[in-house]
Chains A and B, each alone.
Chain A
Amino acid sequence: MKKTILHSSHKKLEAKLVDFAGWEMPINYPAGIIKESTFVRESCGMFDVSHMGRVEIFGENAKNFIEKILPIDVNSLNASSAKYTLLIDEKKQILDDLIIYKISEDKFLLVINASNTEEDLDWIQKINNDVSINNITPDTSMIAIQGPRALNKINLLSNNAITDLGRYKYKEINLQGYSIFVARTGYTGEDGVEIICNNKDAENIWNILLENDVEACGLGARDLLRIEAGLHLYGHEINKNSNPIDIGLGRLLESKSKNYINYDYIKSDEIQKGKESLVGLVILDRGIAREGNEIYIDNKIIGNITSGTHSPRINSAIAIGMLEKNYNNIENTVKIKVREKFLEAKIVKLPFYRRKRK
């Protein structure tokens, strides 16, 4: 199994390690998933996300190439800015969801899912004929620092280097002598940053953050937090054959250029004719609905659970499900088949949790 540079740091903290997309990663530390999720909601937690793929695309024609492969309006993406988007291949299959960072007119960085890195790269290479593609994943590490105190912590450690950093913006800063890339992005529903650094600095930076009361959190807490925040996870809410509009990501299809390989598709009637939609479910009975469980109304299967967990914020089990559109009315009550039992659940609007904005 692949290991991140911080693997020994996780072991030192007595993390429980599991296989995640071929990487041995911490699912939780001794504090446990629930307490870790609460650190992030109430203070500040950090996650080793070095397993995620980081790919640079550069060269004279980089901007053109990005316009060709992604549904973003590349002209509206300013330097030092980031955007959440989808990678859709020429067969209309969604290969990944990702964040693109514009470094300059001729250089971009893509941060992609660990589980899709190889397939994404294969496809990008196949389409490519005139840009340079550099997979910097093996040479760099990535840490997400999330929570209401996250920005303060980074400011304290960097001489207030990010007081002016807007959401979905990034900059290169000096943190206690280490040069890092810091972006105000995340996957928890809290404010915070994601940093990329050289491998040789990762352990020192991790330790500096620990010393400053940033709690180490595992992928279990990350999953709980992103479900509460109603955020998609590839392989769950997003699949190869998903219709982007059905899964609530129609807003990402903003390309204005016929240079985009799926321009006709995103402007077509076909994409508007989805039959399903993603909803939130609050479980009223005792028990957690989990991925794959069937959703019923009047003995008829109307959908499936895509993700489920227990939320200490909602104080009950919650789930995200894909439902036939006719049945997605808010407040509708449905039954979810969990093992041999049927759990009653109420359809709610996503997200389950929204942070208070300052």
Chain B
Amino acid sequence: MSEIPKNLKYSKDHEWVEISENIATVGITLHAAESLGDIVYVDVNSLDKNLSQFDKFGEIESVKAVSDLYVPISGKVIEINEALLNNPEFVNEDCYDKGWIIKLEINDTKDLEELLNSEEYQKII
């Protein structure tokens, strides 16, 4: 069974978010990575954009399928994990660490109330 880190928050669309002061790091969950299978492209077209919670921020594509990516929290996209452009397999290998996708600058954390904790997320997968 997929292991779900306890320190993260989760969206129903299978993104995770980690908050450190005013920076939110976002990726997809192991459950999502396993469902997609071998990931071959990660594309983010929202650098420097202000996005609202659950807005689309990019696409992730595996050999089998393509899937939209949504921000689990409102904020401005300030960084993309450049390593993923050439090494999209990082998402399959380690989705919670070197497979992170974007960093957002956030104003507040009230959006987190809309998200799931690890136990709640476990129940929907």
Contact = CB atoms under 8 A, between A and B. Distances in A.
B18 interface: no
A32 B92 contact: yes
A27 B64 contact: yes
Nearest to B45: A341
Interface string A338-357: 01000000000000000000
A288 B37 contact: no
A287 interface: yes
Contacts of B66: 287-288, 339
Contact of B63 (A34, A287, A339): A34
A224 interface: yes
Interface string B23-57: 00000000000000110110100000000000000
B43 A286 contact: yes
Contacts of A32: 37-38, 92
Given A34-B63, A339-B66, A287 B38 contact: no
Interface in B80-109: 92
A310 interface: yes
Chain A interface mostly: mixed
B63 A310 contact: yes
A32 B61 CA distance: 14
A309 interface: yes
A28 B41 contact: no
A224 B63 CA distance: 9
A33 B37 contact: yes
Contact of A287 (B41, B64, B92): B41
Contacts of A339: 66
Given A220-B63, A339-B66, A288 B38 contact: no
A33 B61 contact: no
Nearest to B43: A286
B92 A288 contact: no
Contacts of B43: 286-287
B56 to A, nearest CB: 11
A286 B41 contact: yes
B61 A28 contact: no
A153 B43 CA distance: 42
A34 B93 CA distance: 13
Contact of B41 (A34, A35, A288): A288
24 contacts: A16-B37, A27-B37, A27-B64, A28-B37, A32-B37, A32-B38, A32-B92, A33-B37, A33-B38, A34-B38, A34-B63, A220-B63, A220-B64, A224-B63, A286-B41, A287-B43, A287-B66, A288-B41, A288-B61, A288-B63, A288-B66, A309-B63, A317-B40, A339-B66
Given A286-B41, A287-B41, 14 more contacts: A27-B37, A28-B37, A32-B37, A32-B38, A220-B64, A224-B63, A287-B43, A287-B66, A288-B40, A288-B41, A288-B61, A310-B38, A310-B40, A339-B66
